[in-house]
């Protein structure tokens, strides 16, 4: 296969204030270099956009370093090997890697994981079988300590992480309530994904809607949103309840400090535990997660939902859409 | 010994709004009844006033039921048996029990624990060797998971719980920073109790003073206060830091929801754990706690501080003083 002479990649050229703008990014055409010793060349098929990327666009110290201005963005991607200098990676292999936001990736073979043939769509490795899936699995079982039969509330329930959290709860005999940002998403949660109840958080106060959906209270809150959702969950949690804080997307674009839960004093009387977590601390669960969720996908207990956007030109639009809640399930950009 | 014909006890006659007022309570003289089968009569020597009592004065569901209007208050007390109908309790025995806020207690012997002869002042069983002491011990070791050598920040550090937290940290080779509400309390923390650093939270922003006292950050925050202290601690905590939430005294008399930490989103990136707890869940540690802290008191590694107020008439004043921070160490009322 002949390598293309050039390929396009997205650079961050300004740090966003509030919601990112297209002017914060630039699509740049660059030469494709030949692979050096131990390297491969990969043509990307699917690019991932994820909420955590917003934090990396700020110039602040965090658990991952910020994106550099004038440099290519990166992120999860699935591609096909088109040139290789190593035995472990053959031309035609599907690989999972972190050089996303670009059409072609060149780098050391060990940074590209060859994917097993699962018969499942390759994009699933960016979603239900990938980082967001492991986030749901680790957060629910290891961080929140979910026990079979408990009642769970998950916010951002129509997203890549939340939609798997809810299905895992159902697969383990629990009860799950989800919140999402539109009537259509709410319909999908209850009609397609098996949620016991769901509500549109834009349609009324979260605390009231949660109380109606879970009148007997909740044991676990899986937080993707923060703010008003967290306050409502603290009010609804039983004694010894647990909160797994995966993200607070409601705050990512805030230019003012977000509203904090005014009922936080209840953590004492209820003995609540609130635990923030990052999926990279839970890699020891990956094999178990892939086997268990892979089997659930195969027999239909878990359904993967995706929102697919086409073309490298659309990556920024997909990312902004993700932060605005345009997606149902995993948001991916298809290049091939 | 002849039983007194009457004795005084405090009744709650109105639910306080904000800081309790003397008009919310009434000192009532009641007949002392003779002990029935299996009962003892106890003359109280020391009464405890504790922050948790404020919550029980509100008519809301919590981990303990509210005090009833027109009925005697209760709380921890140490007294001397003056009449007994059982072999297990002899006249003259010192007992620890929960029928405080009164001069004389009559009830089933099993509600009165006979205290071992320790040679230590009886009031210590209400403080450093009692409920507040176990709270410090359980919160630091079991809830926060303190490891030898870590840096701990404790708020309300001059109080009954906080002053022991700091001394336990020092006994285990850690570094401890405390906050308190006056220059005199701060002086005692560093000069008498061995704190590495301390500051007066009324003298400036907590976050700035904490950063100056712990420039390399903290591993554990033991929260007795909430509000601005909690926000400052979240900012100072290292990755995988832990917060044991013992109380939020800053909010107990609030008539508006208290300020919540505006930086709560940091729990994700730092993987922080925030855990509320109640000492009654940690009774399994009591024996170990008494032995360990008893030995530390005996050899001087731990010093008990008390603020002693005299007379049954002074109980409400002592309680309001406690909520206002008038005490250093354990606040007790001496009756004998």
8 Å CB contact of A272 and B271: no
Size of interface A-B (CB pairs under 8 A): 99
- Give long-range contacts, CB 8 A cutoff, 24+ apart: B235-238: B235/B207, B235/B210, B235/B263, B235/B266, B236/B153, B236/B207, B236/B210, B236/B211, B237/B266, B237/B270, B237/B272, B238/B270
What domains, with CATH codes, occur in chain B? 6-127+305-334 (3.90.180.10), 131-280 (3.40.50.720)
CA distance A192 to chain B (A): 30
Condensed to tens digits (0 to 9), the pLDDT of residues A43-80 reads 999 999 999 999 999 988 777 789 999 999 999 999 99
B109/A40 Cα distance (integer angstroms): 80
Give pLDDT, residue A3. 83
8 Å CB contact of B265 and A251: yes
Give just the sign of the alpha carbon dihedral B216, B217, B220, B223: positive
Tell me which residue of B202, B125, B190 sits closest to B163, measured CA to CA.
B190
8 Å CB contact of B268 and A245: yes
The percent of residues above 70 in pLDDT, for chain B, comes to 98
CA distance A100 to chain B (A): 22
Sequence-ordered strand ranges (E) for B207-329: 218-223, 237-245, 273-276, 306-310
Give pLDDT, residue A116. 87
Give pLDDT, residue B257. 66
- The answer to whether residue B144 neighbours chain A at the CB level (below 8 Å) is no
Nearest-by-CA chain A residue for B264: A260
Q: What contacts B159, CB < 8 A, 6 or more positions away?
A: B132, B224, B327, B329, B330
Query: In Å, what is the CA distance from B131 to each residue of A200, B1, B49, B76, B301?
Result: 46, 31, 11, 9, 20
Residue with tokens 């809830």: B143
Q: What is the pTM of this model?
A: 0.91
Residue A262: phi, psi to the nearest 5? -80, -10
8 Å CB contact of B257 and A263: yes
8 Å CB contact of A269 and B278: yes
8 Å CB contact of B261 and A260: yes
Q: How many C-beta neighbours within 10 Å does residue B88 have?
A: 12
- The answer to whether residue A4 neighbours chain B at the CB level (below 8 Å) is no
Give pLDDT, residue A258. 66
Where is A164: in which H helix or E strand? Answer: helix A160-171
Q: What contacts B131, CB < 8 A, 6 or more positions away?
A: B48, B50, B76, B279
> Parallel, antiparallel, or unpaired: how do β-strands B94-97 and B77-84 relate?
antiparallel
Condensed to tens digits (0 to 9), the pLDDT of residues B212-246 reads 999 999 999 999 999 999 999 999 999 999 999 99
Query: What mean pLDDT is reported for chain A?
Result: 94
Residue with tokens 């904090």: A260
Condensed to tens digits (0 to 9), the pLDDT of residues B308-328 reads 999 999 999 999 999 999 999
A62: chain B residues, CB-CB within 8 Å: 269
B245 - beta bridge partners? B223, B276
Query: In Å, what is the CA distance from A229 to each residue of A80, B228, B243?
Result: 41, 22, 21
Q: How confident is the model at residue B1 (pLDDT cuts 50, 70, 90)?
A: low
Give pLDDT, residue B63. 72
Q: Is the pLDDT of residue A333 over 90?
A: yes
B262: chain A residues, CB-CB within 8 Å: 257-258, 260
B336/B317 Cα distance (integer angstroms): 18
B64/B55 Cα distance (integer angstroms): 9
Give pLDDT, residue B166. 98
* ipTM of the complex in this document: 0.90
Q: How confident is the model at residue A257 (pLDDT cuts 50, 70, 90)?
A: low
Min mean pLDDT across A82-91, A244-253, B234-243 is at A244-253
CB-closest option in A246, A260, A275 to B264: A260
CA distance A57 to chain B (A): 14
Residue with tokens 């106890």: B42
Angle of helix A228-236 relative to helix A206-213, nearest 10 degrees, comes to 40
Q: Is the pLDDT of residue A121 over 80?
A: yes
Query: In Å, what is the CA distance from B76 to each residue of A81, B49, B123?
Result: 73, 8, 10
Residues within 8 A of A (CB atoms), B 190-249 only: 226, 230, 239, 245-248
- The answer to whether residue A184 neighbours chain B at the CB level (below 8 Å) is no
Collapsing DSSP to helix, strand or coil, A231 comes out as: helix
Residue with tokens 């740090």: A15
Residues within 8 A of A (CB atoms), B 57-76 only: 62-63
Q: What is the DSSP string of B321-333?
A: HHHTT--SBEEEE
Nearest-by-CA chain A residue for B246: A268
- The answer to whether residue A271 neighbours chain B at the CB level (below 8 Å) is yes
8 Å CB contact of A276 and B273: yes
Condensed to tens digits (0 to 9), the pLDDT of residues A303-323 reads 999 999 999 999 999 999 999
Nearest-by-CA chain B residue for A230: B264
Condensed to tens digits (0 to 9), the pLDDT of residues B69-79 reads 999 999 999 99
Tokens representing residue A127 in the block: 């979603």
Nearest-by-CA chain A residue for B62: A269
Q: How confident is the model at residue B300 (pLDDT cuts 50, 70, 90)?
A: very high
Condensed to tens digits (0 to 9), the pLDDT of residues B238-271 reads 999 999 999 887 777 777 766 678 899 999 999 9
CB-closest option in B62, B267, B274 to A269: B62
Residue with tokens 């009387």: A269
CA distance A143 to chain B (A): 10
Q: How confident is the model at residue A1 (pLDDT cuts 50, 70, 90)?
A: low
Nearest-by-CA chain B residue for A272: B276
Q: How confident is the model at residue B31 (pLDDT cuts 50, 70, 90)?
A: very high
């Amino acid at each position: 296969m002949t390598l293309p002479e050039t390929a396009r990649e997205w650079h961050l050229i300004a740090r966003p204030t509030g919601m990112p703008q297209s002017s914060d990014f630039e699509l740049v055409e660059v030469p494709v270099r030949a692979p050096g010793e131990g390297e491969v060349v990969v043509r990307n098929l699917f690019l991932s956009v994820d909420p955590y990327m917003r934090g990396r666009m700020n110039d602040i110290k965090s658990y991952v370093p910020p994106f550099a201005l004038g440099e290519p963005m990166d992120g999860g991607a699935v591609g096909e090997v088109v040139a290789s200098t190593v035995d472990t990676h053959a031309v035609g292999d599907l690989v999972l890697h972190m050089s996303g936001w670009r059409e072609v990736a060149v780098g050391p073979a060990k940074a590209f994981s060859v994917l097993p043939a699962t018969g499942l769509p390759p994009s699933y490795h960016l979603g239900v079988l990938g980082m967001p899936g492991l986030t749901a699995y680790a957060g629910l079982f290891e961080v929140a300590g979910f026990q079979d039969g408990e009642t769970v509330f998950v916010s951002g329930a129509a997203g890549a992480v939340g939609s798997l959290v809810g299905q895992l709860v159902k697969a383990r005999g629990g009860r799950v309530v989800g919140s999402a940002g539109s009537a259509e998403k709410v319909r999908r949660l209850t009609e397609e994904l098996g949620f016991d109840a769901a509500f549109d958080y834009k349609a009324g106060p979260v605390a009231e809607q949660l109380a109606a959906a879970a009148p007997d209270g909740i044991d676990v809150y899986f937080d993707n949103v923060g703010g008003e959702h967290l306050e409502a969950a603290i009010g609804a949690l039983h004694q010894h309840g647990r909160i797994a804080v995966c993200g607070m997307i409601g705050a990512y674009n805030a230019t003012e400090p977000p509203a904090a839960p005014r009922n936080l004093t209840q953590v004492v009387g209820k003995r609540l535990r609130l635990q923030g977590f990052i999926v990279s601390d839970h890699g020891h669960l990956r094999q178990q997660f892939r086997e268990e969720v892979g089997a659930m996908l195969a027999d239909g207990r878990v359904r993967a939902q995706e929102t697919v956007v086409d073309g490298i030109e659309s990556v920024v639009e997909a990312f902004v859409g993700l932060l605005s809640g345009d997606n149902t399930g995993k948001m991916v950009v298809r290049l091939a």
